[in-house]
Structure 1
Amino acid sequence: MYNWDEDPDLNITPLIDVMLVLMAIFMITIPVMQYQEQIELPEGSQSLKVSEQKVLTVEIDRELNIHYNSEVYTLDSFPDAFRLKTGEMDKSKAVYINADKEIAYENVIYLLKVVKQSGFSKASLLTL
């Protein structure tokens, strides 16, 4: 019969020796290895392009008066007047809507709807 050892011990000394040798090799070779990549940066233009695109600002106050281009409109007269004033304008301009914080939310949404229906795709709400 074979006499098997019931409680075998692991001998990890050779494994530690191999790992120490590999670590020494890596510590010596890693600082010697260098990788260099050549990068070609794009050249910038010498002229600056100035944006001529201005923004439109529509303001509504506590009394629900709408101010646009230093003119005052009511909620009823604003949609038609805004469409007439902006009919020939570039519709890619940004439109900022500035509203008093005490007016009802539905009035701000009404202004936003009028601006969108007039063909402007960039409408933003200003906060103060």
Structure 2
Amino acid sequence: MGAQLPSARGKGRRAPMADINVTPLVDVMLVLLIIFMVTAPLLTAGVPVNLPESKAKPLDQDQEPVQISIDEKGAIYLDNSEVTEAGLGPLLEEIAAKRGEDKPQIFVRADTRLQFGKVMRVMGELNRVGLNKVSLVTTPVDGR
């Protein structure tokens, strides 16, 4: 009589499992999706401004622009910090002096309900300190 060869299924041996449990992967992906959905709106500009509409094309930019926002009440914000109209000039002079010949791009975001004179005073300060790369930010019109 011959000896019996042990089979793959005999004596407590198991066949390798070919299934992958994807439930933990789906759970992690759903949590990440929720996190991104909650944080994405917070990453937009910090000052709420009702921008005018325009059919202009978006600009190409090499570096991070300096944003000046003016809300409907006339409050002026340099990036996300509020400044007075009198204090805007020295801050802009400091920005112009730091950058030297490579002047930064300035984005002016002004509310549609704002008086035009306030925007022109800010534009005058920008021109006075030599920051001439100025763009007015608008909301794109749907029918491009």
State the TM-score bracket (shorter-chain normalisation). Answer: 0.5 to 0.7
How much identity, in percent, do the aligned residues show?
17
Determine which structure has the larger helix proportion and give its number: 2
Alignment of 1:14-93 (within 5 A): 53-90=63-100, 91-93=102-104
Which shows bigger deviation, 83-92 or 116-125? 83-92
Q: Segments of 4+ in structure 1 off by > 6 A?
A: none
Q: Are residue 127 (structure 1) and residue 138 (structure 2) matched?
A: yes
Gaps of 5+ in 2: 1-60, 140-144
What's the CA shift for 1:78? 1.4
- Return the alpha-carbon distance in structure 2 between the equivalents of residues 65 and 89 of structure 1: 26
Contact 1:58 1:68 (8 Å CA) reproduced:
yes
| Shift of residue 122, structure 1, vs aligned partner | 1.0
Give yes or no for the alignment of 1:112 onto 2:112: no
Q: Equivalent residue of 1:106, what SS? A: helix
The C-alpha deviation readout for 1:24-62, integer Å capped at 9, x for no partner, is xxxxxxxxxxxxxxxxxxxxxxxxxxx752211110112
Task: State the Cα distance separating 1:70 from its structure 2 match.
Answer: 2.2
Indicate conservation of the 8 Å contact 1:64/1:74, yes or no: no
Question: Are the equivalent residues in 1 in contact too, given 2:65–2:107 (CA < 8 A)?
Answer: yes
Inter-partner Cα distance in structure 2 for 1:122 and 1:81: 17
1:72 deviates by: 0.5
Question: Per the alignment, do residues 110 and 57 of structure 1 end up closer, same or farther by CA in structure 2, a change over 3 Å counting?
Answer: same
Letter in 1 for 2:117: E
Q: Which runs of 5+ in 1 are unaligned?
A: 1-50
Q: Are the counterparts in 2 of residues 67 and 73 from structure 1 also a CA contact under 8 Å? A: yes
- Residue-pair matches, total: 78
What is the CA RMSD across the aligned residues, in angstroms? 1.9
